[in-house]
A and B are shown apart, each in its own frame.
Chain A
Amino acid sequence: MMELAETADISAAATAAPIPDLTAKPSWRSAKSTIMTGLMVASVLAVALPLIAVVWAVLARGFAVAFKSFPDFFIQEIPTVARRAGPGMGPAILGTLLVTGAATLIAVPLGVLGAVYLHEYGLNNRFSKLVRFMSTVMSGVPSIVMGLFIYVLWTLRFGYSAFGGSLALSCLMLPVVIGSTEQMLKLVPHHLREAAYALGVSKSRTILTVVLPAALPGIVSGSLLAVARAAGETAPLLFAVGAANEYNPHLFEQANTALSIQIFGNATSSFVAAQDRAWGAALTLVLLTFVITLVARVFTAHIASRR
């Protein structure tokens, strides 16, 4: 009897007391929170606006030139008379593909093997620390200095060629590939390696058959991003590749050209027709970079989802 009366008293007391109001009251703290949110939104807009503006400008001015009569712009030769209006950036596209392709063939195997050594074999010895430090330094070297380095070492001796340009580009790509591959190798869980060792597999075979396939999507996407960056580099190519105007499918002989060189040369020209071609070439380069990045993302997502 006494407990029932007490619980009745307690529940009566609970319903009698006012429920506290938990809605936010306007105060200085909530106002500060709103201000900070507004500032962050403004910062995001400030960063996104230049990107949108650049893409819009390139699309608006390059679309008419590049897609007027569809394959013409990408196949025809660059007019030797710069004043003449009309299409043609074919040699530049071939040059960019040649130079970037050869640079990838040099930089990606070297970078992946270097990162495998840095992570698997020489984990913290002095040589690895030196190589990592040098890689960091090399990633901060300005591209024009790299171009002049290749000029002094290669072009003065062997003349202009597409291969000199790919040497310069591979020097620029190498630190990026090493860094991203090492990050990916660190992400491979160690128990995979230990399981392979427990089965009696030698270290090199473990790396080849267990570690590298596990890290492959990250390595591929990192390398593709390095390729996308290298495709747009202009300054190193100015000193190593030269500026030819015809198709030159040879890697080692004679001056070649590239999209970035053509953009620079035509943009500073005084003829409107040449400037239009520069806009078209800029659109082509943006599309090329976009396609490479897209392939990298799709590849990563596809392999990740399959696992």
Chain B
Amino acid sequence: MLGLGRAMGETIAAALVIGSALGQMTLRPLAAGNSMPAVIANEWGEADDLHKSALIALAVTLFVITIVVNLVATGIVQRSMKRAQGS
């Protein structure tokens, strides 16, 4: 799950191939989409002040999600270790 956290933050690989679709939310995995780090990397160059602040807010959201994933993973690992030692 640490790998999952790292993969969620993968920026450049996603920025190059993900398609940067704006606006439509779709569940089709083969349609052009977007990801938080890819949006930040792609739109940073042409962003004015408000846009930049919005992108930084997006980065905070990504940070929170990754922290939650890592905490859940650490909790699972610690609980399974405790179970292995306790019994």
Binding site for B on A (CB under 8 A): 136-137, 139-145, 148, 152, 234-235, 238-239, 260, 264, 267-268
Contact = CB atoms under 8 A, between A and B. Distances in A.
Contacts of B67: 137, 140-141
A140 B3 CA distance: 8
Chain A interface helix/strand/loop/mixed: helix
B59 A268 contact: no
A145 B74 contact: no
Given A234-B11, A264-B12, A268-B16, A141 B63 contact: yes
Chain B interface helix/strand/loop/mixed: helix
A239 B6 contact: no
Interface residues of B, number: 26
A251 to B, nearest CB: 23
Given A136-B74, A148-B59, A143 B66 contact: no
B74 A143 contact: no
Contact of A140 (B2, B10, B16, B56): B2
B6 to A, nearest CB: 7
B11 A140 contact: no
Nearest to B69: A140
B16 A144 contact: no
Interface in B1-30: 2, 5-6, 8-12, 15-16
B8 A142 contact: yes
